[in-house]
Amino acid sequence: MRFARTARCYALWLSAVPVLARSDGGAGSGILIGTVIDALSRQPVGDVVITATSPALMGEQVVVTDAAGRYRLPRRPPGLYTLRFEKEQYDPLVRADILLPVSRTVHVDIELPPGSIGEVYDFHCGRESTIDVSSSGTSLYVDHEFIKRIAVR
């Protein structure tokens, strides 16, 4: 009796080993990987937030690129995916209809375009400006050169 119980426990343990040892997280799951680079400088972009959505998923999965711009979304069920790439100073980018086949790895490399909103410009014109934070008025410094160039009617 004791031998039979031990044999059954051993058989159950052996049947679980292939499931525990499987590296892909389950039969048929795939992997989405890639690199994100700056579209102008061609340098890797770290800390890009990547949001993956799919009808095959419940909710969404979020990962962040490493310092070399690499990301990895392992153990994904097969299906169509949409990836959204976001980082300050860059325009958000969406890649839709990415097909992830059964038990495959799909590379999705991205060139992230620099942002057009929130750019900082630093202009210096001849004289330093003073900002009065207690006033809501505006002012303009006009020198003699400016007055000479004004068209007068």
Q: Where are the domains of the chain?
A: 23-112
Q: Is 80 helix (H, G, I), strand (E, B) or coil?
A: strand
- Region class of 57: left (phi > 0), else alpha (psi between -120 and 50), else beta: beta
What would the two tokens of residue 121 be? 């410009």
| DSSP E strands, 8-78 | 30-38, 49-53, 60-64, 70-76
Quote the pTM value.
0.60
The CATH architecture that domain 23-112 belongs to is: Sandwich (2.60)
Predicted local confidence at residue 115, as pLDDT: 84
CA distance 105 to 73: 10
Q: Please count the CA atoms within 13 angstroms of the CA of 32 that sit on its side-chain side.
A: 28
Predicted local confidence at residue 122, as pLDDT: 43
Predicted local confidence at residue 152, as pLDDT: 60
Residue type, position 32, single letter: L
* pLDDT per residue as tens digits for the range 51-68: 999 998 888 999 999 999
Q: Which residues of the chain have pLDDT under 50?
A: 3, 6-7, 9-25, 118-127, 129
